[in-house]
Structure 1
């Protein structure tokens, strides 16, 4: 009540007036003063309301650009205008409005924070140098989340400097057309409201990077949606959308797109123009097919198609970077080699709750697969080749009518099951030593060559044998076949097998990790089609200059070796996209050379001996992942590293001497 009494003497120039008995301002003046200095105002969870029940409307209207004012002694207040709202003129309506108003409104001085003279200035208060109101900072961040707003005032146009506007978790049924005046807006969060449409004016926000509209009641989107050309993140999940505008083709900077939990029956082929898209979520829609044009989205890393009506798995000939594919709870009956042969980077394949009856032997093409979920299908037997997946950590098989594997074996866990499957590989193989009988002491994996893997999968596999040399019989078994993948990892090799040069016309993926190599022989340098080289966990201290002949090399893994300097030859391989050099002893890098590598997106230098990070590294804008943790440098601090690559690069760039 004391606050109410103080409110009765408000100055008429303060932008709004109060009569005795009215509630005090819902926003403390201290917050307003702080916002004038910081440019940020957080009014989340303050029980604010602004809508048709606000018939007293002194603190900002929802439909017009001005602020309604009360004349001295006049208790008849014109109702505010609100899109889709009716004025409350009856006594009962006014009573309801007063009840709502007691919970607090969005005061007009919030919208007019950069226009009106502060209330303190009218009281002739002295201002220190830091408090001079005429030097106030424009409001750039406004948070009105978790209130009871039914609509936003058109006065939002009075905050043109806003870069962040967060009004999620309210009761909004519309967005004011004045939103189009916020030409600097970069992030708009209107999620968890009751929006039924999006105004055309929103499409004028050419600087908008993040638009969150999930959990609303949207039925359609404006045709001009493609004008939001700066968008990097768009969340439209949990709405009622049945179609997507073809103008989505212009959202070429989009990195994350969430369309989950809608009513989409198809995806427009135009979204294939999103060349930078990394994550696409179409979970729980009505999709029956996926457009073939989707295959051209070469940057896609995560694809969610769960809970749809797909009857077959689409073929993805260009998805070489795809790491996660989720297609559970569909009606897929067949999984073929054509579906798998282009998914070499896949780490997670989720196929639960479908109608699969079998798996192809070509499942071993997915050499990087870490998780395979086949729960609740109709699979009666497993291919023994499944045991040759070296990275598989989780194999979920519950709810399948498996007949060839005992239940107690299934209960022993993934690794025991894979070991069992490897022991059963007998068909279409030939003995390493045809003249020597296989005894009870001979492990099947040591005594046989997997001819099927060579002929059908184009994989030459001889790993985990603890062998000091690769037997000639292994190379002899290749014959005239074209082998694309070589896996000699987890042995005790002191040198690279010389006969590997025989595979130079076809091999593109070589794994020599976990051996005892102290140098790289020139035989490896002539594999001119090589795109992926894994030589981690060896004793390497340098790389030969001849490696610059590997003009197609995209990924190289040098982790856990003994490098003390960054291998100079890597600077001269312009095709490199990923360099993994963690857990070595590297003391410095050349940022000018790194910047010239315009395709390099991932650089892992964790746990090395970097005493400083050159600021010029901040100019390497192509880096999407830069890992520096575990080095002895003092700056950037750990708090900055934790914010991610973009924050680290921005920090480094700010420290470049001018």
Structure 2
């Protein structure tokens, strides 16, 4: 296949900044490409490429590289030499693996598109892409995401639609600049409380999962759009229940006493707690009662509150009342709750 665009570019001098060789049935990169050292944008989508040339490292000024719809089976390690690269498109390939080495060499990357591949996992080293703002992994085979991904503090968009995710790490709350989170068409059953710490989140797409109830602090999010159609959300179906007397373990009684003392600013106890790492670890798992405000560990009653979100944001069709988890420390507090809380019946 004649390489007229490349020939014209070379004849025009080595100062060419942009080159497009799309849909030219290329199996290999042209030999003269590495001579175009001023190149900043290279579009090679819709070809038959499965590897890059070793001399690609000569393109030290390259900022945008489009390798979409080719035949790569992994993310090419030669990319680590492209220190100036900011946007990388690898959608529509056969990629099953992303080498940790790639993550270490692309520290200026702000956009990475790996949609429509066969990735089943991400390397923990992905946290090295410290300037990444947009990560798109739609239509892959991911079963989980590493907690290290939550160290990408500049991330603004995360797209994980059509994967096999069953859960999210609690650390996802560290993504405080994230504005768009797309998780539709996965197998997620429960959302972590950390999700509610994402202060910048405005669009959340959870359609087509297995979610029944939302985290306790869900109302703290300032969402503009929320999509959750296709989930088995809890509905209002009041049933009679048998109230059982609270029987607390010695560990639970002790924990509740200590938590209450800490809440009342017991200084001597605070000083003692700083020296006991084991106790600190146990008490770090505390929950707070929505009725009395005191902390507890394991003995708790799960309730649901139905929050009207239709007027606050754009939502899925027919979604008016969002089921939000509410935790109570005892039946005593349950008997004092308002009419907006419902106990969850276990079938």
Asked if these proteins are the same fold (TM beyond 0.5), I'd say yes
1:381 aligns to what?
235
Q: Is the 8 A contact 2:310 2:321 kept in 1?
A: no
Quick one: distance in 1 between partners of 2:311 and 2:200? 12
**Any residues of structure 2 matched to 1:42-441 within 5 Å, and which?**
49-50=1-2, 106=4, 110=8, 113=11, 139=12, 159-247=13-101, 248-315=103-170, 316-338=172-194, 340-366=195-221, 368-381=222-235, 383-384=304-305, 386-387=307-308, 392-396=312-316, 410=318, 417=320
Quick one: distance in 2 between partners of 1:390 and 1:377? 17
Quick one: distance in 2 between partners of 1:306 and 1:109? 41
SS at match of 2:173: coil
Quick one: distance in 2 between partners of 1:294 and 1:392? 30
| Shift, 1:314, TM fit | 2.7
Deviations 1:382-435 (A, max 9, x none): 754532x598322216xxxxxxxxxxxx4xxx6xx369x9xxxxx89889xxxx
Q: Is the 8 A contact 2:208 2:230 kept in 1?
A: yes
Aligned pairs, number:
262
| Shift, 1:376, TM fit | 0.8
| Change in 2 beyond 3 A, CA 1:284/1:337 | same
SS at match of 2:218: helix
After superposing the two structures, state which structure 1 stretch, 183-192 or 312-321, moved more: 312-321
Quick one: distance in 2 between partners of 1:108 and 1:261? 29
Deviations 1:204-245 (A, max 9, x none): 311100001111111234323211111111010110111112
SS at match of 2:307: helix
Quick one: distance in 1 between partners of 2:38 and 2:6? 21
Quick one: distance in 2 between partners of 1:357 and 1:429? 25
Q: Is the 8 A contact 1:178 1:201 kept in 2?
A: no
2:331 aligns to what?
none
Quick one: distance in 2 between partners of 1:162 and 1:307? 39
Higher strand share: 2
Quick one: distance in 2 between partners of 1:284 and 1:108? 33
Quick one: distance in 1 between partners of 2:108 and 2:10? 34
Q: Is the 8 A contact 1:197 1:220 kept in 2?
A: no
| Shift, 1:278, TM fit | 0.9
| Shift, 1:263, TM fit | 0.9
Deviations 1:256-276 (A, max 9, x none): 110111111111222211222
Q: Which stretches in structure 1 are left out of the alignment for 5+ residues?
A: 1-48, 51-61, 63-105, 114-138, 140-158, 398-409, 422-426, 432-443, 445-449, 452-658
| Shift, 1:250, TM fit | 2.1
Q: Is the 8 A contact 2:196 2:215 kept in 1?
A: no
SS at match of 2:78: helix
TM-score by length of 1: 0.37
Q: Is the 8 A contact 2:204 2:227 kept in 1?
A: yes
Q: Which stretches in structure 2 are left out of the alignment for 5+ residues?
A: 237-303, 325-333, 342-347
Quick one: distance in 2 between partners of 1:164 and 1:274? 25
Quick one: distance in 2 between partners of 1:169 and 1:386? 51
- Higher RCO (Cα < 8 Å, 6 or more apart): 2
| Shift, 1:381, TM fit | 2.2
| Change in 2 beyond 3 A, CA 1:361/1:428 | farther
SS at match of 2:315: strand
Q: Is the 8 A contact 1:205 1:228 kept in 2?
A: yes
| Change in 2 beyond 3 A, CA 1:361/1:108 | closer
| Change in 2 beyond 3 A, CA 1:220/1:191 | same
SS at match of 2:55: helix
SS at match of 1:317: helix
Quick one: distance in 2 between partners of 1:205 and 1:188? 10
Q: Is the 8 A contact 1:279 1:302 kept in 2?
A: yes
SS at match of 2:217: helix
**Any residues of structure 2 matched to 1:434-449 within 5 Å, and which?**
none
TM-score by length of 2: 0.68
| Shift, 1:196, TM fit | 2.0
**Any residues of structure 2 matched to 1:551-590 within 5 Å, and which?**
none
1:593 aligns to what?
none
| Change in 2 beyond 3 A, CA 1:381/1:363 | farther
| Shift, 1:283, TM fit | 0.6
Q: Is the 8 A contact 2:134 2:155 kept in 1?
A: yes
Quick one: distance in 1 between partners of 2:43 and 2:169? 33
2:262 aligns to what?
none
| Shift, 1:317, TM fit | 3.3
| Shift, 1:369, TM fit | 0.5
